[in-house]
């Protein structure tokens, strides 16, 4: 593979399907749904497809069209990346309005919605209306984890051509880290395995020692839960670490955004700028609201990563308890000793109960249960037998 398709890791069948669609415009579909587990690269594949649709050479990766699409600056490619907890109807209506235009530069007007499963019901209905009567030169690219009705309404799914992606092989992810990012081969192999083939997480682990230490702290939790006090302390640590990560990310993003808006409104200026600044108070308030929603999402995402790691370690314990350690593929191969010790102490039934407890905690967080309450209940449920 070459050009923009190099970014789509370990998905040769998907690349072949998308290349065929680019090469034969008469076979093009106006709505595509990219599905796959976290880390499978569904949004990367959708963006590469968008670039190839605009490229005269089908995605060579070097032309102006390819570069601007990949950079997010192409005039005829609108991308929605939800920063808050959901994608609202107002945002989607603006997209639909733009989607109705004829392309100004490229061959298609492309609308790419990452995390389409976060669309509200009203937003989904608005997209559905556009999919029912799409403009001639408009293509919708939606990305979601699965075809489950909770992720994508059946009415939308039925109007889309589905492209299913899988988790890339660990070896392919490690190879990318070495070739593209210059990561040491040993560290690349460890990061790819520790991330379970999740490309973005593997890159983060390879580049950031803080991320590696945070993962270690999470995976140290199960064997530390020997008392009620230890359970409550572990919950404090998990929630606190997620908040710290969210605060760091929010601080980096919020300051620049707020300053840019203030400058555009003339805050601090004299003369006519004073009136403009007073009229823009509502814009600053709306920005603060969006930033607060984004901070909540960042915190939830950070905590969810920790919960996924915990569930995977208990899954490893279940595998070891039922199949032994010979020839076993583990989610956390570097923590085999921990998985074996958990298997010895809680057995397969105990591992299954704890996996269910982690999943229940994730559901509780989705239903807006306070993180501290949900995680405390979890760690108590994970407590080791005396």
pLDDT in tens, 249-288: 777 766 666 666 566 666 555 555 555 555 556 766 766 7
Helix, strand, coil % in the chain, rounded to nearest 5: 65, 5, 30
Residues 122-174: tens digit of each pLDDT: 999 999 988 988 888 899 999 999 999 989 999 999 999 999 999 899 999 99
| All domains of the chain in start order, with CATH | 4-164 (3.40.50.300), 172-207 (no CATH), 228-266+285-382 (1.20.272)
Inter-CA distances, 81 with 86, 111, 148, 210, 312, Å: 10, 11, 21, 26, 27
Residue 110 has pLDDT above 90, yes or no: yes
- pLDDT value of residue 224: 97
pLDDT of amino acid 268: 56
Through-space distance between the first and last CA atoms of the chain, rounded to whole angstroms: 55
pLDDT beyond 80 at 85 = no
Question: Looking at residue 279, what is its pLDDT?
Answer: 53
Q: What is the DSSP string of 51-120?
A: HHHH-TTS--SSSHHHHHHHHT--TTEEEE---SS-B-HHHHHHHHHHHTSPPSSSSSEEEEETTGGGB-
Quick one: CA dihedral 51, 56, 61, 67, positive or negative? negative
The SS3 call for residue 356 is helix
Kind of pairing between the strands at 109-113 and 138-144? parallel
Q: pLDDT per residue over 314-332, tens digit each?
A: 999 999 999 876 777 788 9
Angle between helices 281-323 and 228-265 (to 10 degrees): 150
pLDDT score at 319? 94
CB-based contacts of 380-383 (< 8 A; 24+ apart in sequence): 380/228, 380/231, 381/353, 381/354, 381/357, 382/221, 382/222, 382/225, 382/231, 382/310, 382/354, 382/357, 382/358, 383/225, 383/226, 383/227, 383/228, 383/230, 383/231
Q: How confident is the model at residue 292 (pLDDT cuts 50, 70, 90)?
A: confident
- Which DSSP category does 325 fall into? S
Contact between 77 and 106 (Cβ < 8 Å): yes
Candidate ranges 16-30, 210-224, 252-266, 276-290; pick with highest mean pLDDT: 210-224
Quick one: pLDDT at residue 64?
A: 92
Q: What percent of the chain has pLDDT above 90?
A: 58
- 335 confidence band (pLDDT: 50, 70, 90): very high
- Top pLDDT among 299 and 238 is at 238
1 band by pLDDT with thresholds 50, 70 and 90: low
CA angle 358, 359, 362 (to 5 degrees): 90
Q: Dihedral through CA 24, CA 27, CA 33, CA 35, nearest 10?
A: -60
Q: How confident is the model at residue 247 (pLDDT cuts 50, 70, 90)?
A: confident
Which one, of 91, 96, 88, 81, lies nearest residue 134 by Cα? 96
- On average, the pLDDT of the chain sits at 87
Predicted confidence at residue 272, as pLDDT, reads 55
Q: What is the pLDDT of residue 341?
A: 96
**Looking at residue 103, what is its pLDDT?**
87
Q: Evaluate if residue 379 carries a pLDDT over 90.
A: yes
């Amino acid at each position: 593979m070459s050009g923009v398709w190099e970014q789509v890791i370990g998905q040769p069948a998907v690349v072949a399907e998308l290349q065929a669609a680019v090469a034969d415009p008469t076979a093009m579909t106006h709505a595509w749904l990219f599905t796959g587990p976290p880390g499978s690269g569904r949004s990367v594949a959708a963006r590469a497809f968008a670039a190839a649709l605009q490229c005269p050479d089908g995605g060579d990766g070097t032309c102006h069209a390819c570069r601007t699409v990949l950079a997010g600056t192409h005039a005829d490619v609108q991308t929605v990346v939800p920063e808050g907890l959901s994608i609202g109807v107002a945002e989607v209506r603006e997209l639909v309005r733009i989607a109705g235009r004829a392309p100004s530069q490229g061959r298609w007007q492309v609308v790419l919605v990452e995390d389409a499963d976060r669309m509200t019901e009203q937003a989904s209905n608005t997209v559905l209306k556009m999919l029912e009567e799409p403009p001639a030169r408009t293509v919708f690219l939606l990305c979601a984890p699965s075809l489950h009705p909770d992720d994508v309404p059946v009415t939308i799914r039925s109007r889309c051509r589905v492209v299913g992606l899988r988790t890339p092989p660990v070896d392919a992810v490690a190879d990318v880290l070495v070739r593209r990012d210059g990561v040491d081969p040993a560290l690349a192999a460890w990061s790819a395995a520790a991330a379970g083939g999740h490309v973005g997480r593997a890159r983060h682990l390879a580049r950031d020692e803080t991320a590696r230490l945070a993962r270690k702290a999470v995976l140290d939790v199960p064997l530390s839960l020997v008392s009620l006090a230890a359970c409550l302390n572990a919950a404090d640590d998990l929630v606190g670490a997620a908040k710290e990560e969210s605060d760091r990310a929010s601080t980096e993003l919020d300051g620049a955004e707020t300053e840019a808006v203030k400058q555009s409104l003339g805050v601090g200026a004299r003369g006519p700028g004073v009136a403009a600044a007073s009229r823009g108070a509502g814009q600053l308030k709306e920005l603060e609201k969006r930033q607060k929603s984004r901070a909540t999402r960042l915190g939830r995402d950070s905590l969810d990563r920790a919960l996924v790691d915990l569930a995977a370690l208990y899954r490893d314990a279940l595998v070891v308890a039922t199949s032994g350690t010979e020839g076993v593929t583990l989610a956390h191969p570097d923590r085999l000793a921990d998985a074996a010790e958990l298997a010895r102490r809680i057995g397969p039934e105990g591992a299954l109960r704890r996996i269910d407890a982690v999943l229940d905690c994730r559901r509780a967080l989705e239903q807006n249960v306070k993180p501290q309450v949900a995680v405390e209940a979890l760690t108590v449920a994970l407590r080791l037998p005396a």
